[in-house]
Amino acid sequence: MAYEAVTNTGETLAVAETHGWNSVISDWSADKQTFGVPWGKAMMWIFLLSDIFIFSCFLIGYMSVRIATTEPWPDTSEVFAMTIAGQHIPLLLIAIMTFILISSSGTMAMAVNFGYRRDKKKTAALMLATAAFGAAFVGMQAFEWTKLIVEEGVRPWGNPMGAPQFGSSFFMITGFHGAHVTAGVIYLLVVAKRVITGFYDRKGSYETVEITGLYWHFVDLVWVFIFALFYLW
């Protein structure tokens, strides 16, 4: 219950309620936090945790199918090879895509760093560079899909090079990841625009830039697992 206390100088101080329904209402309405983690960051971590489960199910399912299939699995180093100037180079496009996505993690990390320094020009420029890397990755993935569908005849339900599960696994895993990269590019462009217009200066915090960075680093990390398990195995 609420009560008053008298100090040595005779002043009366109001002491907050610690019991009863009124105290419960005042505590919840005050938006108190136990660990001091902003809600935006906490919600992003929860979203990423759910995505970890989904990608894990996809990759575990892919490995189970590949181990269980009785038909030969296509040699990915040959399927995704490119011929340039008469030279047959295995996994060239995939290597370039991986390099681009890993490089984008560096630009995103620098954007977060400059965001906390409130240097909006460098923050926005680095976020736009990250978005450009992401767009280039998606463009290369579209080229990869077109080559497999049009030239190789791969379908989600069939594959002329061997096990029919190859097509369904490839389109499901890389398509889901590509959708994440596309969403990330849009997310980056929206946040970069807000940085340029001074939205976060008026808000008093560049925390959203860090939250965007969490999402982008997750997308990059997932690609490392896809690259290792699907393309190199």
pTM listed for this prediction = 0.85
Whether 28 and 64 share a structural domain: no
Tell me the CATH number at 60: 1.20.120.80
Residues 84 and 27 in one domain: no
On whether both 11 and 104 belong to a single domain, the answer is no
Identify the three-state secondary structure at position 26.
helix
Q: Domain check: are 169 and 123 in the same one?
A: yes
Averaged pLDDT for residues 26-54: 84
Calpha distance 24→48 (Å, rounded): 31
Q: In angstroms, rounded to a whole number, what is the distance separating the alpha carbons of residues 30 and 16?
A: 13
Residue 28's domain spans which residues? 1-32
pLDDT value at position 39? 85
Q: How does DSSP classify residue 7?
A: -
* Number of domains, the chain: 2
Mean pLDDT of the chain: 89
- Phi and psi of 14, rounded to 5°? -85, 130
Check whether residue 128 and residue 203 sit in a common domain.
yes
Q: Is 163 in the same domain as 53?
A: yes
List, for residues 73-111, the tens digit of each pLDDT value.
999 998 999 988 888 899 999 999 999 999 999 999 999
